[in-house]
Amino acid sequence: MNNKRVAYQGEPGAYSEAAALEFFGTPITTVACHNFDSVFASVTAGECDYGMIPIENSLAGSIHRNYDLLLRHDLQLVGEYHLRVSHCLLALPESSLTDIRIIHSHPQALAQCESNLRKMNIQQAAEADTAGSARLIREMNNLHAAALASRRAAEVYGLKILIENMEDNPANYTRFLALAPQLAAYIQPINNNQYKTSIVFSLSNTPGSLFKALSVFALRDIDLSKIESRPIPGKTWEYMFYIDFIGHVQDPICERAIAHLQELAPFLRVLGSYPRHKIEEPD
Q: List the 195-202 sheet strands across, edge first.
A: 224-231, 239-246, 195-202, 268-275
Among 48, 47, 53, smallest CA distance to 20 is for 53
Phi-psi region of 277 (alpha: psi -120 to 50; beta: other; left: phi over 0): beta
Alpha carbon distance 113, 164 (integer Å): 11
Residues belonging to the active site:
174, 176
The H or E element spanning position 178 is: strand 173-180
Among 241, 268, 239, smallest CA distance to 255 is for 268
The H or E element spanning position 154 is: helix 151-157
Instruction: Spell out the residues 6+ positions from residue 207 whose beta carbon is closer than 8 angstroms to its own.
Output: none
